[in-house]
Structure 1
Amino acid sequence: MKVFRRYFNFNEEHIDKSLSVIIHTLGHHVHPAYTPYPDVKHPDSHLFNWEKGRSLKEYQILYICKGEGVFESTGMPPQVIEAGTIILLYPGVWHRYKPTEDTGWEEYWVGFSGSYASHLLEQECFNPQSPIVKVGFNVEFLATFERLFDVVEVREESYQKLASFLLLQLLGIVYTSVLLSNQKISRKEKIIGEVKKEINESWNQDIDFEQLAERYHTSYAWLRKTFKEITGTSLNQYHLLLKLRKAEELIHETTNTLSEIAVQCGFESVYYFSRIYKTKMHVNPSEIRKSR
């Protein structure tokens, strides 16, 4: 792969806020194998590193059209990302991703906000805990992105309105792909999706997984086996990882003591919290607080 970049960050003062979808950033990058990620010329407003991850202020569509890598977010263990995958990033949701070192990848992205964007992505078929959409090598999707770049590069009069229209086309393709994908979801995937949703809503509480299984008219053994099969992790590990990610956010974003954070996140003591955090995250929470 050769290096190829197109980055556009829009001046917030000149954005037409009356539009139903508003573009904040737009980019295309061919990232070669065996080079650090993200690229050092990535826009400062969206730069991140793998250790800390990040959360955005706007929605973002990330399309990986070549190569492969890994993606992880709050409430979701690491997922292998293949070529032809769309990742939907939601405001305020912690995440991180990177290409596999020996493949690199080619990525397109567009960051946006607006009333229609919020309305569409809050529909029942979308879920911040299931942000991955597999569309394959979608010619229409790529062509719409390229037209969007052409409009933004020229920046003729009313280009923001035309760019907004093209973004609506992208969202339409994503919406259609999600609906078609959801039609193929099996009964057991629907149950596990609902269970994940309940765990995310009660992340800082003790959860009786046997009672949870009863509510969905399944056995506890079936739930444990199927959850591991679909998510790649156990019920307890999924719940624990979610609590640790929430704790990491609180360490970065608040001045609460580690003892207070341990209690907020449902751990029995700060000692147990620190020990399990070091085991799972390979760093002491006190070290994160000191670096902050």
Structure 2
Amino acid sequence: MKTFRRYFKFADDKLDNSLSVIIHTLGYHIHPANTPYPDANHPESHYFSWEKGRRLKEYQILYICKGEGAFEATGMPPQTIEAGTVILLYPGTWHRYKPLLSSGWEEYWVGFSGSFAKHLLEQECFNPQNPIIKVGFNTEFLATFEKLLDVVEIREESYQKLASFLLIQLLGILYSSVLLSNQKFSRKEKIVGEIKKAITDNWQQAIDFEKLANTHGVSYAWLRKTFKEITGTSLNQYHLSIKLRKAEQLIYETDSTLSEIAYACGFESVHYFSRMYKSKMHTTPSELRKIN
């Protein structure tokens, strides 16, 4: 397999902040089998190690069109990534990914921010806890990505506006894929989806899962088994992951002390909060506060 890469980074460009979506980074890379990942020639802005993972400051679409690999992120079990998969990465969420050594993979990515992007990706059909979207070998999606790469590479007058339009097209294709996928949900998936929403809506409270099961017309035993089957995690761990993400948001966005954040997020002590955060987020709240 031939190695090929195109990288564009716009962090130092003068960005047009009037746009509803703003592209920060864009690229395409064929990563050969039996070679370390990420490639040693990745620019510093893109490089990360599997051991440490990373957190992004912006949204990113990562599309794997060939090959297979693995993906891990805070609050979800390890995922197997197949060709035709989009990984939707959210700002501030710890994650890591890599292709199988035996297969390598072919990847497209675009990092972006903006009011429209934030509004769309906060819709109920998108979920940071389930960032894996199966779009398959979607010719429209691929053609739009290729056009976006071409527009940015040439950088003719008003290229930012055209690139913004093409990115909105990509987001629209993703949105349609997610809606179509949601329409195919089974009864099990619908009930689990309702339970997830109930947990999210009441994340600060102690949740009685037996009562929650009864209100949805199922037994507690059925709910525990089915929730784990569909989400890959338990009810308690799912609730904990939401609390930790809310705490992380408060660390980023407020000047509240770690003790105040711990109690606001329903933890019995700052020590317990720090221990849980370290075990799930791969860093401590105090370390996150230092780099914020």
Which bracket does the TM-score occupy, shorter chain normalised? 0.7 to 0.9
Tell me if the contact between 1:46 and 1:56 (Cα under 8 Å) persists in the aligned partners: no
Once the two structures are TM-superposed, the CA of residue 218 in structure 1 deviates from its matched residue by: 1.6
Number of equivalences: 290
Once the two structures are TM-superposed, the CA of residue 132 in structure 1 deviates from its matched residue by: 1.6
Taking the aligned partners of 1:284 and 1:130, their CA distance within structure 2 comes to 22
Question: What's the RMSD between the two structures over aligned residues?
Answer: 3.5
Single out whichever of 248-257 and 22-31 deviates more from structure 2. Answer: 248-257
Give the secondary structure class of the aligned counterpart of 1:65.
strand
Single out whichever of 93-102 and 201-210 deviates more from structure 2. Answer: 201-210
Once the two structures are TM-superposed, the CA of residue 258 in structure 1 deviates from its matched residue by: 9.5
Once the two structures are TM-superposed, the CA of residue 104 in structure 1 deviates from its matched residue by: 1.8
Once the two structures are TM-superposed, the CA of residue 40 in structure 1 deviates from its matched residue by: 3.0
Once the two structures are TM-superposed, the CA of residue 206 in structure 1 deviates from its matched residue by: 3.9
Counterpart in 2 of 1:129? 129
Alignment of 1:65-80 (within 5 A): 65-80=65-80
Q: What residue identity is the alignment partner of 1:160?
A: Q
Give the secondary structure class of the aligned counterpart of 2:45.
helix
Once the two structures are TM-superposed, the CA of residue 180 in structure 1 deviates from its matched residue by: 1.0
Single out whichever of 162-171 and 90-99 deviates more from structure 2. Answer: 90-99
Counterpart in 1 of 2:176? 176
Tell me if the contact between 1:74 and 1:242 (Cα under 8 Å) persists in the aligned partners: no
**TM-score scaled by length of structure 2:** 0.81
For the pair 1:115 / 2:101, whether they are aligned, the reply is no
Taking the aligned partners of 1:154 and 1:144, their CA distance within structure 2 comes to 16
For the pair 1:63 / 2:57, whether they are aligned, the reply is no
Structure 1 pair 125–284 and aligned structure 2 pair: CA distance change class (3 A): closer
Single out whichever of 67-76 and 158-167 deviates more from structure 2. Answer: 67-76
Gaps spanning 5+ residues in structure 2: where? none
**How many percent of aligned residue pairs carry the same amino acid?**
75
Once the two structures are TM-superposed, the CA of residue 269 in structure 1 deviates from its matched residue by: 6.8
Taking the aligned partners of 2:94 and 2:103, their CA distance within structure 1 comes to 25
Taking the aligned partners of 2:248 and 2:168, their CA distance within structure 1 comes to 35
Taking the aligned partners of 2:10 and 2:275, their CA distance within structure 1 comes to 44
Taking the aligned partners of 1:49 and 1:250, their CA distance within structure 2 comes to 27
Taking the aligned partners of 1:163 and 1:267, their CA distance within structure 2 comes to 44
Single out whichever of 4-13 and 137-146 deviates more from structure 2. Answer: 4-13
Give the secondary structure class of the aligned counterpart of 1:45.
coil
Alignment of 1:226-245 (within 5 A): 226-239=226-239
1:16-64 CA distance string (max 9 Å, x none):
1112221110011112233332223334334333333322222211111
Taking the aligned partners of 1:123 and 1:245, their CA distance within structure 2 comes to 17
Once the two structures are TM-superposed, the CA of residue 144 in structure 1 deviates from its matched residue by: 1.3
Counterpart in 1 of 2:144? 144
Tell me if the contact between 2:76 and 2:233 (Cα under 8 Å) persists in the aligned partners: no
Gaps spanning 5+ residues in structure 1: where? none
Taking the aligned partners of 1:166 and 1:204, their CA distance within structure 2 comes to 39
For the pair 1:93 / 2:93, whether they are aligned, the reply is yes
For the pair 1:166 / 2:138, whether they are aligned, the reply is no
Structure 1 pair 187–56 and aligned structure 2 pair: CA distance change class (3 A): same
Q: What residue identity is the alignment partner of 1:82?
A: E
Once the two structures are TM-superposed, the CA of residue 71 in structure 1 deviates from its matched residue by: 2.0
Counterpart in 2 of 1:19? 19
Tell me if the contact between 1:67 and 1:105 (Cα under 8 Å) persists in the aligned partners: yes
Structure 1 pair 252–99 and aligned structure 2 pair: CA distance change class (3 A): farther
Single out whichever of 227-236 and 201-210 deviates more from structure 2. Answer: 201-210
Q: What residue identity is the alignment partner of 2:18?
A: S
Once the two structures are TM-superposed, the CA of residue 85 in structure 1 deviates from its matched residue by: 0.7
Structure 1 pair 159–127 and aligned structure 2 pair: CA distance change class (3 A): same
